[in-house]
């Protein structure tokens, strides 16, 4: 069978903008970790470190569709320098004030600005693939590749920034992280030939809005529920390894197994090109989400949990791939980047809620109960996908 990924190499500029996007995305998985490390080291409180990370993440999720709409209307090369510049400038100010032991409110204010200015690189890169490939079947392969890239980012990034912080300290580690932002976004900015044509809209534009599409909200709700599951599981795994098993470093290995399972499934799914309608594919995959975590409450060893999560990961990437393809079908002309940004918004807000609920559940009822809550998150994903099928494209 011909390798479908070889077709991506024939897309003019595809390898270049995908690699630039990979570099620009690395900070997404590094910043929250190093923010926690820096704030906790200067204040002595991990609670304040977690609060600081949340203050960065929530504005990032809420502003993502707005900044991506700006990219749709003005063009990526005009928007990226402003966003990346504001993000880097605010984080440089944050580092300086944190090292000077400035009041917490000043640190949180800069983090909120930096989070709101964080470019949604995943949406920008996927919109480039869509512009290059149109509605061809190869677009599924491209989206699969980008899902694999996302997993690489969230597997490598935390390990890299933790190692940098241990060797150099949190502040230098954050500065290195900003270097990835500068290099990646600068590369995307200069690669103008591959970016989608801007679609300016005047004050009386009649172009349909993304937020008014029922199908978009079906997908956002499903992704939010899926993000909730991710947040609960991550907290439960950390608590399990640090508490019951007594090996806190084991959490990173176990969570990496989850990502490896997802990466493998993403590669295979991108090569398959299933012929079933996308809404039906989503329904089947969403039904597997709660099943994939059903065994987690019954596992009692780190090895067993790692194997269970590796198998659970087999559903993660395919769900995201099908959702992005459906969004590509639903999005109005000239609004694709904005529509794709809602993927990150749903996942991030769901993850934040899941982390909070998972933490409370672990504290009061233990890790087994938290894994049961994760199953509930999977059932909500299934309910959203099946309950909203009539608003999704039929083919």
Q: Going from the first residue of the chain to its last (395 residues), give the mean pLDDT of each consecutive group of 10, the final group possibly shorter.
A: 76 93 92 86 79 88 93 94 97 95 94 95 94 84 91 85 87 95 96 90 60 88 95 85 61 84 90 86 96 94 92 94 91 87 91 86 89 96 94 82
Residue 151 has a pLDDT of 86
242 in the same domain as 174: no
263 in the same domain as 193: no
243 in the same domain as 182: no
218 in the same domain as 292: yes
7 belongs to a structural domain: no
Asked if 131 and 3 touch (Cβ cutoff 8 Å), the reply is no
178 in the same domain as 220: no
Angle (nearest 5°) at CA 280 between 276 and 283: 145
pTM of the model: 0.87
Asked if 297 and 368 touch (Cβ cutoff 8 Å), the reply is yes
Q: What is the DSSP letter of 100?
A: T
1 belongs to a structural domain: no
223 in the same domain as 169: no
166 in the same domain as 302: no
- Domains identified in the chain, total number: 2
2 belongs to a structural domain: no
Q: Could you say which of 199, 225, 260 is where a domain stops?
A: 199
40 lies in which domain range?
14-199
DSSP state string for 170-229: HHHHHHHHHHHHHHHHHHHHH-GGGSPPP----TT--PPPGGG-HHHHHHHHHHHHHHHH
Residue 163 has a pLDDT of 85
162 belongs to a structural domain: yes
Residue 3 has a pLDDT of 74
301 in the same domain as 169: no
- Residue in the block written with tokens 């504001």: 86
Residue 246 has a pLDDT of 54
For residues 222, 228, 234, 235, the Cα torsion angle rounded to the nearest 10 degrees is -170
175 in the same domain as 118: yes
3 belongs to a structural domain: no
Instruction: Say which CATH number the domain at 319 has.
Output: 1.20.1250.20
Residues 6+ away with beta carbon under 8 Å from 241: 247, 248, 249, 250, 251, 254, 302
Asked if 241 and 253 touch (Cβ cutoff 8 Å), the reply is no
Residue 254 has a pLDDT of 85
302 belongs to a structural domain: yes
8 belongs to a structural domain: no
Residues 6+ away with beta carbon under 8 Å from 97: 106, 107, 110
Largest CA distance in the chain: 62
188 in the same domain as 146: yes
The 10 Å Cβ neighbour count of residue 99 is 14
Q: Could you say which of 136, 170, 199 is where a domain stops?
A: 199
194 in the same domain as 256: no
157 in the same domain as 93: yes
Q: Give the tens place of pLDDT for each residue, 191-229.
A: 999 999 998 875 555 555 677 788 999 999 999 999 999
Q: Give the tens place of pLDDT for each residue, 294-318.
A: 999 999 888 999 999 999 999 999 9
Q: Could you say which of 178, 199, 220 is where a domain stops?
A: 199
360 belongs to a structural domain: yes
């Amino acid at each position: 069978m011909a390798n479908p990924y070889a077709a991506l190499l024939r897309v003019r500029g595809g390898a270049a903008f995908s690699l630039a996007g990979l570099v620009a995305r690395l900070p997404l998985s590094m910043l929250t970790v190093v923010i926690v490390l820096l704030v906790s080291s200067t204040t002595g409180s991990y609670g304040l470190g977690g609060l600081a990370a949340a203050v960065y993440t929530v504005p990032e999720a809420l502003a993502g569709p707005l900044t991506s709409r700006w990219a749709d209307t003005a063009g990526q090369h005009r928007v990226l320098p402003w966003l990346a510049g504001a993000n880097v400038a605010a984080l440089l100010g944050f580092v300086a004030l944190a090292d000077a032991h400035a009041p917490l409110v000043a640190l949180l204010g800069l983090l909120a600005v930096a989070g709101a200015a964080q470019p949604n690189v995943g949406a920008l890169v996927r919109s480039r693939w869509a512009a290059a490939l149109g509605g061809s079947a190869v677009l599924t392969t491209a989206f699969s590749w980008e899902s694999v890239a996302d997993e690489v980012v969230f597997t490598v990034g935390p390990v890299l920034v933790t190692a940098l912080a241990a060797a150099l300290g949190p502040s230098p580690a954050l500065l290195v992280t900003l270097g990835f932002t500068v290099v990646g976004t600068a590369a995307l900015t200069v690669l103008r030939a591959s970016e989608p044509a801007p679609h300016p809209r005047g004050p009386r534009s009649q172009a349909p809005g993304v937020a008014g599409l029922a199908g978009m909200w079906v997908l956002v709700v499903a992704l939010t529920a899926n993000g909730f599951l991710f947040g609960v599981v991550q907290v439960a795994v950390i608590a399990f390894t640090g508490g019951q098993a007594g090996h806190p470093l084991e959490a990173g290995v176990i969570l990496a197994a989850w990502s490896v399972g997802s990466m493998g499934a993403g590669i295979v799914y991108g090569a398959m090109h299933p012929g079933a309608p996308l809404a039906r594919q989503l329904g089947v995959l969403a039904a597997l989400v709660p099943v994939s975590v059903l065994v987690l409450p019954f596992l009692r060893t780190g090895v067993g949990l790692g194997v269970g999560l590796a198998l659970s990961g087999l559903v993660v990437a395919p769900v995201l791939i099908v959702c992005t393809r459906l969004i590509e079908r639903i999005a109005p002309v000239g609004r694709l980047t904005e529509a794709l940004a809602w993927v990150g918004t749903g996942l991030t807000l769901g993850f934040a809620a899941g982390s909070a609920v998972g933490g409370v559940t672990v504290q009061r009822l233990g890790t087994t109960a938290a894994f049961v809550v994760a199953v509930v998150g999977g059932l909500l994903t299934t309910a959203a996908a099946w309950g909203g099928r009539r608003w999704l494209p039929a083919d």
